[in-house]
Amino acid sequence: MAVTFVVVPQWQGSGSSRAMRLVDGADAIRGDLPTASTRIVGVPLEAGDEQGSGVHRLSSIAMVRDNLALELASIDGPAVTIGGDCGVELAAISHVLDRDAAVVWFDAHPDLNTPESSTSKAFTGMVLRTLLGDGPTALVPAAPLDAARVVLVGARAFDPEEDAVISARGIRTIAADEVGPESIIAAAEATGATTVYVHIDLDVLDPADIAGLGAPEPFGVRATVLVETIKALLARFPLAGAGITEFAPASPESAVEDLPTILRLIGALSTAS
The CATH number given to whatever domain includes residue 44 is 3.40.800.10
Q: What's the structural domain count of the chain? A: 1
Is this prediction's pTM over 0.95?
yes
Looking at residues 100-125, what average pLDDT do you find? 97
Contacts of 45 (CB under 8 A, 6+ apart): none
Contacts of 179 (CB under 8 A, 6+ apart): 153, 154, 221, 225, 226, 229
Residue 260 host element (H or E)? helix 259-271
Q: Is the Cα torsion angle 214, 47, 24, 231 positive or negative in sign?
A: positive
Coil, strand or helix: which one is 83? Answer: strand
Q: What is the mean pLDDT of the chain?
A: 96
> In this predicted model, what pLDDT tens digit does every residue of 175-219 receive, in sequence order?
999 999 999 999 999 999 999 999 999 999 999 999 999 999 999
Flag whether pLDDT at 53 surpasses 60: yes
Domain enclosing residue 70, as ranges: 4-271
Reported confidence tier of residue 271, pLDDT bands at 50, 70, 90: confident
What is the C-alpha to C-alpha distance for residues 97 and 200, in angstroms, rounded to an integer? 17
> In this predicted model, what pLDDT tens digit does every residue of 18-27 receive, in sequence order?
999 999 999 9
- Phi, psi (5° rounding) for residue 3? -95, 155
